[in-house]
């Protein structure tokens, strides 16, 4: 016998103690009263039994006392170990900072100057081509000529375009066959 699919998640939540108040009301209505669902009741009982088996017994008084006595020395040991571990790292950090400070403050006095570079003056040659602002009229004229040339070439190409010719032939063929 299996629980109703709708209520099974609620049964699981209830067993885990995570059922919301709203779902709890819904589930109790399903499980209680004259029309109680036997399948879900059986499932709920099975969940409760399984959880009881899995639950650890509460620690005995002696166990609790022993654990409480253990905690303090363990904590002290852990702290001491952390301090011991931290010591070399702190020493290294202090030495590194000191070394960096010494390098920054003292080293420039002992550092030889960088190589001296002689500035070589390049001779000015007057025959080097110099950029000059173009004449706007000349530019416009050149652009117009180029445009006219391109347009002529374009129309000439359009007249003898093999693709257009092929397309026209295809159209003729298509017209005949239809
Ligand atoms: Zn049910």
pLDDT, tens digit, 9 for 90 and up, residues 102-159: 777 776 666 666 667 777 777 767 676 777 888 888 888 988 888 888 887 766 655 5
- What distance in angstroms lies between residue 12's CA and the mean position of ligand 1's atoms? 13
Please indicate whether residue 61 or residue 10 has the higher confidence score (pLDDT): 10
Average pLDDT over residues 76-83: 85
CA-CA-CA-CA torsion for 100, 101, 105, 111, nearest 10 degrees? -20
* pTM, two decimal places: 0.33
- Find the 40 Cα to ligand 1 centroid distance in Å: 4
Q: How far apart are CA 27 and CA 15, in angstroms?
A: 12
Task: Determine which helix (DSSP H) or strand (DSSP E) holds 63, and give its type and residue range.
Answer: helix 61-110
Q: Looking at per-residue confidence, does 52 or 47 come out higher?
A: 47
Residue 16 Cα to ligand 1 midpoint, Å, equals: 18
Q: How far is the CA of 54 from the centre of ligand 1 (A)?
A: 25
Q: How far is ligand 1, taken at its centre, from the CA of residue 43, in Å? A: 9
Cα(32) to centroid of ligand 1, in Å? 11
Distance between Cα 5 and ligand 1 center (Å)? 8
């Amino acid at each position: 016998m299996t629980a109703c699919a709708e209520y099974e998640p609620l049964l699981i939540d209830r067993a885990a103690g995570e059922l919301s108040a709203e779902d709890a009301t819904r589930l109790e209505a399903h499980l209680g009263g004259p029309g109680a669902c036997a399948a879900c009741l059986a499932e709920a009982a099975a969940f409760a039994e399984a959880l009881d088996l899995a639950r650890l017994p509460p620690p005995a008084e002696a166990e609790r006392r022993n654990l409480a006595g253990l905690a303090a020395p363990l904590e002290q040991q852990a702290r001491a170990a952390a301090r011991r571990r931290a010591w070399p790292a702190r020493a290294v950090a202090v030495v590194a900072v000191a070394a960096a400070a010494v390098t920054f403050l003292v080293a420039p006095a002992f550092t030889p100057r960088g190589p001296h570079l002689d500035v070589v003056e390049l001779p000015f040659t007057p025959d080097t081509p110099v950029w000059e602002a173009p004449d706007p009229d000349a530019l416009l004229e050149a652009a117009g000529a180029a445009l006219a040339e391109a347009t002529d070439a374009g129309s000439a190409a359009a007249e003898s375009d093999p693709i257009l010719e092929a397309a026209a032939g295809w159209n003729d063929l298509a017209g005949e066959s239809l």
